[in-house]
Every structure is written in structure tokens, then in C-alpha cells.
Amino acid sequence: MLCYLDRTNISTAIVPMAEQFGWNKQFCGAVLSAFFAGYGATQVLGGQWSDKYGGSAVLAGGLVLWSVATALTPFAAAWGTMPLLAARTLLGMGQGVAFPAMHALLAKHVPHKVRSGAIGIIMACAHCGTALGFGASPAIIDGMGWGWTYYLFGGAALLWLPFWLNMGKEKAKAAAKAAMAAATQQAHQLQQRAAAASAHDAVMPAARHAPGGTSRSAHPLLDSIQQHDQQQQQQALLQQRAAAAAARSSSNKVSSSSNPSVGFWPLMRRKEVWAIAVAQYMSGWGFYGLLAWLPSFFIEHCGLQLSQLGGFTLAPYLLQAVVGASAGILADNLIVQRNWGIRDVRVLMQVAGMLGPAACLFAAASPLSAHSPYLATGLITVAMGMSALTCSGVSASHLDIAPRHAGVVFGVGNTAGTLAGLVAVPGLGYVLQHTGNWSLAFGLAAAHNVVGAALWAKWVGDKPLPEDGGEPGVGFAATPPGQMRLKAQ
């Protein structure tokens, strides 16, 4: 929630900022897109760090960076163009590691059968942050000035940090305490058994000789118990060694130097990974473009005032939060309870989450909704709500096909989506600057959604890939025949 709160306030604040500093739409597009330059630069790196070192510390470090950059943005704007672009880029770099870190934590701690629901809840919180940013920013700007949207939102993120760090410490202490208790209990049981055996040997004869000259215990029951204990100890030792090996493997992710067919670059040759990247890029055109230009759309196309924006920009993201959480629960239910194939669920959610918004966006920017903010809001609200279905499509696919490299594969997909934002936001600004045609701008986003939905349905995968380094075919369901590698280009 804090992540999206800090990234969306500028979409509203840029209106008075442009008036104060004399910016045109093309320059506003450059300011808005600077975020995506930093956001894309740290996606894969954040995923690699999270897969290797754990997502908790990576997420905390990213939050500190983006919070400081948010709070410094008003000063940077006053200092000039380059400081402002630098602040926006640093904000993007800090937030670029956040979602790869979250998804690495999901892959490590959340069971397969509830992962879609967990992703839906995370994205619902993110959309609530967007709704809060759009809803609160107009009132803050009207009452305190646009600079306070940066001070308040940046400070709120920093207030969360101590709770997150303390939670990590508490989990580490609980895990260490549980391990110590288990070890103490095992040692106590061994001592009791050893004492019982010693007491028995002191009272009873140690052994009797069998007729063949071999020795045999006088108490075979005691021997059987001792033998069983030895077998249990050996089995526990083997399990400990296997767990240690698994932990080392999970931490190091089987480097490509030891196994060149496993890891990041082999995964990048799979069409299932490219399905994620292409879908993220195509949907990113509409999502990021709409996110950046929505307040300007309501002011220019629908004739609203800045003070009226809160109510109209709030509804789409609140519905998006509700649909995102519900879609995750629905997807898990279809897979676990109703035995749907993973691929079928991912295709259904992603295609519906791209084609539905494409139709609504085109209609919202058409002459039918001109000077009708209620109709435009209704169409955009439906579009944003339907787009949240992709939380159970592309946003979950990396956990299906590469759970051991979930962070970095998610980073690849989010980098592609970020590239779309880097192109779409200034691109739409250029279109609007020279044509003033909102139908053309939203039509471009809709066309990207249609193409992305078709490619997703063709390439999406549903089980762990061999290049991930885990057990082949371990997942919810088997992948249908015909899922082959992309040919090398």
C-alpha cells in the first residue's frame, strides 16, 4: 500500500506543479516517466538479491530509499530539472526491488494452494494505496499545498519500517527457540533411554550364550528398542543433512557455473517466461498510462476541477482492490477444489483482465463520455476492476513455472511492464500535446491489451520448468503437451 501511495501522488500533484513551474504536457510526461527508468533498473537485481539473501532485508532497504526520495521531491523540483528527474529515478530504484522481494517471500513461505489468494491480497493493498493517494491528494493540495503530499506520504512509509524490522527479529527468535526446544527434547529422550539401559545392565546378566557359540541378548525387547532408537537417530541425521543441502541449494539457486542448464539465462530462453514479460509489457501500457494521466483526463476531457478529483479517481482503485483479492481466492478455489488446470485458470484470468479493460478504455475516451464524468468514471472503474483479474494470471505465473527463481523471474516481467511505462507515459504525453485526442491515446493502450492477451494465451506455462533447478513437474498440475522452448533468435 505504501509503495503505491508514494508513486501515485505525483499524478495529482503534477497539475499544480505544472502551473507553478510552467511545464507543458511533454515535459510532464518526462517527469512522470523518470520513475520508470529507476524502477526498471532494479527489478532483476532486486529479484536476484531476494532469491539469494531473502526478501525481508531487500524490501526494507528499498523502502528507505524510496521514502527519502519522495520527501525530497519538492526541494528537487525547486532546484531544477535534473534534481527533479534524479529524485524520481531514485524513487523508482527503491520501489523496483519491492515486488520482487515480496514474491520471493511468497515462494518461500506461502503454500502452493493459497498463493493466488496471497498475491490477490498484496495487490489489493497496493490498489488501496493508489486509491488513498488519489483520494487524499486533492484535499491535501487544496488545504496545505502540493508539497505536503510528498512530505506526508514519504514519512508514512518510514513509520512502517520499525514494525517490519521488529517482526523479522521476532520470527528469527521464534525459529531459534523452536529449534533449541526440539534439540533439548531429543537430548533428554536419549539420556533417559541410556539411563534405563545402564540400570538394566547393572541388575540383569548382560547376555547369554547361544548353542552355536554366538552371543545373544538376554532381553531381546530391550535390544529391539535400542536398535529402533539407533535407526531413528540415523534417519534424523539424514534428514538434517538433506534439509541443510536443500537450504544451501535454495540460497545459492544452483549457479550456472555448476549447472549451465539451470538459472537465469536458461530460463530466459523459455517461452513461458516470455509470456510473463510480454503480458506485463502490453498491460503496462494501459495501467501505467492511465495511472499517470487519469487526473488530467478528468480535468480536460470531463471538465472537472482539481478539488473534485478525489471522489472520481478513488472509485476505480477501490474496485480494483476488491476484485484483486476476490480473484485470487477464486483462482485457488478453481484449482484446488474444482480441479481446473492451472493453465486454464491463468488464461481465463489474464485474458479477461486485458480484453475487458481494452473495451472500457476505448469507450471512456470516446465522444459518448465527453463532459460526462459519471459515465467516464463508470467505464474506467469497470476497466480498472477487470484489470485486477490479472493478479491471478501473470502475477502468479512465475510461482508456477519458477518457484526457485520467483524473485528474478518476477523482476523480468516487472521490468518489461516498467519499460511499457517508460514508453507509454511520455508517448501518451506527446500524443496529447500534439493532438489533444484522448480517444487516440486510450485506443493505443487498448490495442496493446488485445495483442498481449493473444500472446499470453499461446505461451503461458503451468508447472516448474527444468531450468528452475527443482524437481521436474512438481506443481499443481501437469502442463499440456506442446509447450516447447522458444527458438533461439
**Per-residue pLDDT at 361:** 83
Using an 8 Å Cβ cutoff, are 418 and 32 in contact?
no
Q: By C-alpha distance, which of 289, 376, 293, 320 is closest to 132?
A: 320
d(CA 176, CA 180): 6
d(CA 228, CA 52): 39
**Per-residue pLDDT at 351:** 97
Using an 8 Å Cβ cutoff, are 79 and 65 in contact?
no
Name the maximum alpha-carbon separation found in the chain.
Answer: 108
Domain ranges of the chain: 2-170+264-468
Using an 8 Å Cβ cutoff, are 47 and 100 in contact?
yes
The pLDDT tens digits along the chain (489 residues) read 788 888 888 888 998 999 999 998 889 888 988 888 898 889 888 888 888 888 888 998 999 999 999 999 999 999 999 999 999 999 999 999 998 888 888 888 888 778 778 888 888 888 788 888 888 888 899 999 999 999 999 888 778 878 777 765 555 555 556 656 666 666 666 666 666 656 555 555 544 444 544 444 455 555 555 665 666 666 666 566 555 555 544 444 444 446 778 888 899 999 999 999 999 999 988 877 776 788 888 888 777 777 777 767 777 878 888 898 899 899 999 999 999 999 999 999 999 999 999 999 888 877 777 667 788 878 888 988 899 999 899 989 988 999 889 888 988 998 898 888 888 888 888 888 888 888 888 889 899 999 999 999 999 999 999 999 865 544 444 333 333 333 333
**Per-residue pLDDT at 249:** 47
Using an 8 Å Cβ cutoff, are 410 and 280 in contact?
no
Per-residue CA distances from 102 to 54, 62, 410, 471 (Å): 10, 12, 10, 23
Cell of 374: 459519471
Phi, psi of 209 (to 5 degrees): -85, 135
Using an 8 Å Cβ cutoff, are 82 and 30 in contact?
no
Cell of 276: 510473463
d(CA 267, CA 162): 36
Cell of 159: 513509520
**Per-residue pLDDT at 255:** 44
Q: What is the C-alpha R_g of the chain?
A: 28
Q: By C-alpha distance, which of 402, 392, 266 is closest to 330?
A: 392
| Alpha helices, H only, 301-405 | 309-336, 342-364, 373-387, 394-401
d(CA 413, CA 39): 12
Q: Which residue has the cell 519458477?
A: 402
Using an 8 Å Cβ cutoff, are 247 and 240 in contact?
no
Using an 8 Å Cβ cutoff, are 243 and 457 in contact?
no
List of E strands, 366-443: none
- Could you tell me how many helices (H) and strands (E) the chain has, helices first? 17, 2
d(CA 380, CA 360): 6
Using an 8 Å Cβ cutoff, are 251 and 54 in contact?
no
Q: Which residue has the cell 480498472?
A: 384
Question: With respect to CATH, is domain 2-170+264-468 assigned 1.20.1250.20?
Answer: yes
